[in-house]
Each structure stands twice: as C-alpha cells, then as structure tokens.
Amino acid sequence: MKPRLLVVELHHLGDAVMSLPFVRGAAARYEVHVLCRPASSEVYRLLSHPPVIHEWETPWENAQPSGLGPALVAARDKGRALRLLSFDAAVCAWADARVGVIMAETHAVRRIGFPMTRGNYYAADLPWRRRRRLFGRALENLWRLLHPGRPLLTQELDRESPRQTHFHCWHQIAGALDLSCDVSVPWIAATGAPVQERRGRPVLVVHAQARLPSKQWPLSRWRELAASDRVAEKFELVEVLPEGAEPVTPDHARKVPTPDLLSLVTVLRGADVVLCHDSFPAHLAGALDKPVVTIFGSGEPDWFAPWNNRHRVVQRRACPLHPCIDRCGMDSYLCLDAVTSGDVLAQLERLKFNP
C-alpha cells in the first residue's frame, strides 16, 4: 500500500485549481487525501485519478473567530476526526496556524508548510492582514505552550521571494517531499464535446462575472468592449452565463448557461482564448491550456495569475493601497475603474492564432 498524504486546501475554487499539479504529482507515490471546502471538491473530481476527498466548511470563513479558543477547538476537532487514517505526511501551501493545528492533530508523521511569518503572508502590511497574522502567531505560540516538544510543523518552509507565484509554494512543498508537480496540460480530464467549434475566426469565450465586487470590472465596460467592431471582426463571441448573470455581449453572440462546473469546463474547452476576471474561471482555463486574458483589480498577479498566463494580465496600478486583497479602503474601486476597454482590447489583439 502507498503511504498516505493529506493535502489541506480550505480556500476557494481557483486556489483548488492551483493545487492540482501538486496533487497529480503526489499521486505517483502517495495515496492522496484532500481536505477542502464542499464547493472545491468538484474541482478535484475533475482529475483523471481523483484523490480521496474530505469536505469541510470552515467555521471561520466569513469572520475571524472571537478569540483563540474557538479557532483552536474547531481545528483540533477536525484534525482528530482524521487521525484514524494514519497519515504519513500532511501539507498546506498557505501560512495558516489553524491548518497547522489540523495537521498536528492528525498525528501525521511529517507536517510541511509555511509558518505565519511576515515573509510568508500575502499582503502582510495591510492593517487587517497584520491583525490576522498576529492572531495566527498567537495561536502558534499557544500551541507551543500547550504541547511542548510537538510542533505544529515538522518542516517549516519560507517563501523564496515575496513576489513568487502561489504555484511556487506548491513546488517548494513538492521539493520537500522529493516529488515533482505534474504541470503537463491539460490538468483535468476531458468531459463532453466543446460547445463551440471554430468557424474561421478564433472563439473568444467571455466570463463577465466575479465572486467579489473588488474583482468585478464594470458591466458597462464589458458591454463597450463586446460591442466594438474590432472584437466582432476578429472573434466569434461566446458568453458564459452562470445562473442569474446579466448578459454583456450583443444579441449575435452565443450565450451558454453554465449551471454547474462540468458545463463551464465544456464551454472553456471550445475556446481559443478566454477573457475573464481574476477568478476561478481564469485558473480553470489555464488548467485547460487556454490563453487567458485576465482583468485584475484588488489582487496581485505576481501571486495569483493563472498558470502560464502572467504576461496576458490587464491591470492598472492606480490605487495606492494595492494589493488590498479584496478589502477596498477607498471610496470606489480605483483599480478596476482605471482599466479601459482599450486596455483589454490591446491585450486581445496581441494574441496570435494558428489558422
């Protein structure tokens, strides 16, 4: 039997996609288990050989716990619930002491991750991020006090550069386990036939919605771009329409409802290029080996640009507080308002397509 490895990824859908090369590479030597949020579990099921999935909705998702106690108890209980699986190793690419407690309570022999130092924490100097980092450091210290001689992490890693992509954090963990991340594309298994085949012009798939307002380019800009003659001349337009979404493309553009993840994958597979926000569809398109033009607002593309598409990011660093990591401190979203339809069109026109 293979040794067991626990991968903890309790962030969102796009973050789950970024972990896929590590999960695929680890499967060569380990029986891989993933602890993730219920929504993210469908991402891992897209793999040709899915890991064993453990779903958990974190109790601290929408608000910081009122004190160290609630976070410690929730993390402790989840770790203990996984203890019977006898993990040989547990890993996480985020600096999060709560996850460290989960991994320690599983009694995994090796626990590899990033302690909550300033250099390991994204946007560490923002006031609210500083408070969370100090909260985490306090939790780390409380653990040391309660469990002398049993560290949260048996192997602590440090980011090699404060600007490094989040993908590289997974590569560091892979190196610590003497593994290789499997970045061969596509990362996920094919589903059905693509919704749209090319009919002369390249197919531009547009996804104009974002989970957070701080990532949402104004719909008026989307409409201005989609209605431009230059877009109509160069591309066959297909718009992804999640449930309840308001269309932004002209009447002649094909509009495809995507009520679930598999339907979204099917649309993206038929794209020659994908245009979207800094969001889950961007990472999913990158995993499918598609050129992705990504509109960035509050986020930092050096950290979170989709795989192999950093050079196609559209961004205006117009805000003195950037990156605010989705908590805007200004009266309006300066970062997004500064991006013009001309900026996006210029990036689209740089793309080259085979006939």
The stretch 115-131 carries a mean pLDDT of: 93
CA dist 246 and 206 (Å) reads: 12
Do residue 39 and residue 145 come from a single domain?
Answer: yes
Domain count, the chain: 2
Do residue 149 and residue 34 come from a single domain?
Answer: yes
Q: What integer pLDDT is reported at residue 200 of this predicted model?
A: 82
CA dist 320 and 335 (Å) reads: 9
Q: Is residue 11 a part of any domain in this protein? A: yes
CATH of the domain at 120: 3.40.50.2000
Q: What integer pLDDT is reported at residue 196 of this predicted model?
A: 65
Q: What integer pLDDT is reported at residue 192 of this predicted model?
A: 65
For residue 306, the enclosing domain spans 203-349
Do residue 142 and residue 236 come from a single domain?
Answer: no
pLDDT band at residue 264 under the 50/70/90 scheme: very high
Do residue 153 and residue 280 come from a single domain?
Answer: no
pLDDT digits (tens, 9 = 90+) for 82-92: 999 999 999 99
Both tokens of 9, joined, read 């990824």
Q: Determine the distance from the C-alpha atom of residue 133 to the mean position of all C-alpha atoms in its chain, rounded to a whole number.
A: 20
Do residue 65 and residue 142 come from a single domain?
Answer: yes
The stretch 182-204 carries a mean pLDDT of: 82
CA dist 60 and 48 (Å) reads: 32
- Is the bond leading into 186 cis (omega within 30 degrees of zero)? yes
- Is the bond leading into 323 cis (omega within 30 degrees of zero)? yes
Contacting residues for 331 by C-beta, under 8 A, at least 6 apart: none
pLDDT band at residue 63 under the 50/70/90 scheme: very low
Residue 21 phi, psi dihedral angles, 5° rounding: -60, -35
